[in-house]
Structure 1
Amino acid sequence: MSTIAEFRIPAADTVLADSFDRLPTLRVELEAAVSRSQPCLWITDVDRRALDDVLEADPTVETVTLLVEADDRLLYDVTFREERTVCDQLLADGGSLLEAWATDGWWQTRVRFRDRETLCVAHDRLVERGVSVDLRRVTDVEAGSHSRTSLTTEQREALEAALERGYFEIPREISMEELAAELGISHQALSERLRRAYETLVDEEIQPARERA
């Protein structure tokens, strides 16, 4: 069994507090490429020129480089001045970062731990560092359990292989043709398998939200 914890942490206790003060509409998400040891940041809802100036002036930022500009979304490679950010500390204490985002001057993270004891140690160390951490939710996950999706075995295999081999990285570390060859299927078959997997995941995520609305 593992434990998933959701934390809420003020930016003032970690990074980018000044950026949120100067750009209140700022929204930041860690780039969803878990194979990277230092994920990049997707930033939305701000003017690029204003954002560049704010990030360069932020006292917690060491270096910042724009990697991708896609409509209203900007992908930055950011190095922070702190030796260890809050996320770094959570990982050092046995956590696996699942998701992290920030709005309105607050960071929120979802982290997987081996067990509740490991979670408690990580939480206590943050408190000892003076971090005002708010533990919002704790969920125990039984070993061997799978998320309740309608993915087929082949679709799950394709997604896992794509993630592990860097297909979702920017830039990609493997082409679809190379990945298909490793899986022993055609390029067209892999493309269709991934497309159906995306459709299934999006439908299962969006449809319940519509039903709750």
Structure 2
Amino acid sequence: MSVTTDLSIPSEEFLLGTALLTDTDVYVELERVVPASRQVLPFFWAIGTEFEAFERDVQSNPNVKNLVSLDRVKNRVLYRVEWSKAVESLIYGIAEVGATILEAQGNDQWRFRLRFNDHSALSEFQEYCIEHDIDFHLDRVTTETDTVRNDFGLTAEQRETLVLAVEQGYFDVPRGVTLGELADEIGVTQQSVSERVRRGAGSVLESVLLEASTREERSG
């Protein structure tokens, strides 16, 4: 049975985090991906406003050979990066055990959501991190069955944001609170709140509707 984990890790613990760590308001987000080799992931989204300073800081890092802006949508920029080093211990460890990066974002502190094929693969990953002195904190471990039954696959941040949004009337008509007001209360960017609400609501709807559809098919 597949296992989903939430873990947090300081940026200095892995190459990608170190290279993308800046003093700007920009934080980095990775899309769902299955790492396939030792190479560091070449694409990432940056969210914020201080992109010129962010680019200067990243390009000055000795681990970065080149940084190219590919697309820009409001306060999000898609970058392609060419790395000076070929090996990234953390990402290689994820690739070694065949895990999938479901979500990853951060600046000085990163949060990863990983899916492993089974508990054995998770144990292999933990052993790999110990052998390579990669220090991380395992925040949560769930199986797919637990995910559907207990929290619809929500991360802790998504659950917190959705609960607050419901309590304060974000889904009411008219709305009782804006995304900006939710962001101020939680202490994150409006973009981050928007993504938590969108992805969290999508996870809940997918779990509820698909489960209901499955029950109908079985009863039919």
CA contact (8 A) 1:16 1:58 kept: no
Normalised by the length of structure 2, the TM-score is 0.59
Once the 2 structures are TM-superposed, how far is the Cα of residue 19 of structure 1 from its aligned partner? 4.3
Read off the aligned partner of 1:73 and give its amino acid letter: R
CA separation of 1:44 and 1:113: change in aligned 2, threshold 3 A: same
CA separation of 1:140 and 1:204: change in aligned 2, threshold 3 A: closer
Work out which of the residue numbers 83, 88, 91 in structure 1 matches 2:92: 88
The within-5 A match list for 1:18-57 is 19-20=20-21, 22-32=22-32, 34=33, 38=41, 40-57=43-60
In the alignment, which residue of structure 2 is the partner of 1:157? none
CA contact (8 A) 1:11 1:107 kept: yes
Once the 2 structures are TM-superposed, how far is the Cα of residue 203 of structure 1 from its aligned partner? 9.0
In the alignment, which residue of structure 2 is the partner of 1:173? none
Work out which of the residue numbers 98, 107, 123 in structure 1 matches 2:126: 123
Once the 2 structures are TM-superposed, how far is the Cα of residue 39 of structure 1 from its aligned partner? 5.8
Give the 3-state SS of the residue equivalent to 1:89 in structure 2: helix
CA contact (8 A) 1:7 1:110 kept: yes
Cα root mean square deviation, aligned: 3.1
Instruction: Output the CA distance in 1 between the equivalents of 2:134 and 2:34.
Output: 27
Work out which of the residue numbers 83, 102, 106 in structure 1 matches 2:106: 102
Instruction: Output the CA distance in 2 between the equivalents of 1:60 and 1:67.
Output: 20
Identity level (%): 22
Normalised by the length of structure 1, the TM-score is 0.60
Once the 2 structures are TM-superposed, how far is the Cα of residue 124 of structure 1 from its aligned partner? 1.5
Structure 2 residues without counterparts, runs of 5 or longer: 154-196, 205-220
Once the 2 structures are TM-superposed, how far is the Cα of residue 100 of structure 1 from its aligned partner? 0.9
The within-5 A match list for 1:179-190 is none
Instruction: Output the CA distance in 2 between the equivalents of 1:17 and 1:204.
Output: 29
Read off the aligned partner of 1:31 and give its amino acid letter: E
Instruction: Output the CA distance in 2 between the equivalents of 1:204 and 1:140.
Output: 18
In the alignment, which residue of structure 2 is the partner of 1:3? 3
Instruction: Output the CA distance in 2 between the equivalents of 1:13 and 1:82.
Output: 16
